[in-house]
Amino acid sequence: MIEDLREIQKKMGATFTEDGTRIESFSNDSKGLKAAYDEVVISDRTHWGLLELTGDDRLRFLHNQTTNNINQLKPGLGCDTVFVNSTGRTLDLVTVYLTDKAILILVSPNCRQYLMEWMDRYIFPMDKVEIKDVSQQNAVFTLIGSESTEILKKCGINDLGELSLGNHRLVTMGENSIRVAVGTGLAIPGYTLILPINQAKTVWEQLIQLGGIPIGDRVWEQLRIKQGRPVRDHELTEDYNPLEAGLWHGISFNKGCYIGQETIARLNTYKGVKQRLWGVNLNQEVTPGTPVMLEAEKIGVLTSCTEIDQQFFGLAYIRTKAGGIGLNIQVGEATGQVVEVPFLTHEYYQPPAVE
């Protein structure tokens, strides 16, 4: 199963982490990084968690657990949503896909057990909800890049380019049945594929033969930092809330009550977001956790840093009153400037005027 996929990836030059759960690199990082924008790359995200909710109350239950309006979803639709605690602090950014009989939840690596236990504590005896970890039964691949639609067309999969973000469809690729969803988890066009693990080797080989360039986690990390995509244990921790993290696209201000809603609604209503996540151009590498300084005063903290083509880029939480785009800062021994990143938004929600 997964061993067959790993064997073919090794033959393609993959190097793995010590525990063997994820690919570090295919020794093509520079090529892969460029191709993610200009061509198409394929990232193996099977090490991410995949949870499944079933039962008649599944939609209502997840609606009450996360920030987005899950109740409005119909089969074939999906969205990003955020798990938060009772004080509105971030637990994880996830993507949900509603099918006819279940809700699939793509969660961060090493987070699935935590979120299963978190949700389980809120299931009451009368609730018709079951939670199942289906990570080991499925593979998750993401096609990233401007040519992603074309590579699927070569597989006989058409019309996906007309679907909006989060929409998904069960399709046939040769003899394999896979779920293809619009979106990459980044602000770059592409698709996420969810398929049975026993089909993973065949589908991976086919996508490579049709022009997909494999990338490892090193390139994914470069892409997600450059895009501003926050991840668990770096930008997504219980030290921050999803408004500070720029995840406004995953929050509904029109839905009913959910865990943490009061705090998040109050922050929006009174414009109380005290710090915001931004991109930072740096002149040298800096260790995450280093304070961000402005004229000898601490105004934030660096949460991630990467090198791309001998240039350095990071993500940092910056105190709102200190400023935003264009702000010149000091981070350790490095100098830097705050820049906008495409994955994040920081606009307060304004309810429509009542006539």
pLDDT for the residue 55 = 98
Q: Which pLDDT score, from 0 to 100, does residue 353 have?
A: 67
d(CA 337, CA 69): 36
Query: What pLDDT score does 19 carry?
Result: 87
Ordered by where they begin, the domains of the chain are 1-270 (3.30.1360.120), 274-346 (2.40.30.110)
Enter the tokens of residue 271: 């414009």
pLDDT tens for the chain, residues 1 to 355 = 799 999 999 999 999 999 888 999 999 999 999 999 999 999 999 999 999 999 999 999 999 999 999 999 999 999 999 999 999 999 999 999 999 999 999 999 999 999 999 999 999 999 999 999 999 999 999 999 999 999 999 988 888 878 899 999 999 888 888 999 999 999 999 999 999 999 999 999 999 999 999 999 999 999 999 999 999 999 999 999 999 999 999 999 998 899 999 999 999 999 999 999 999 999 999 999 999 999 999 999 999 999 999 999 999 999 999 999 999 999 999 999 999 999 999 999 988 765 5
**pLDDT (0 to 100) of residue 163:** 87
Q: What is the reported pLDDT for 87?
A: 96
pLDDT at residue 114, as a whole number: 97
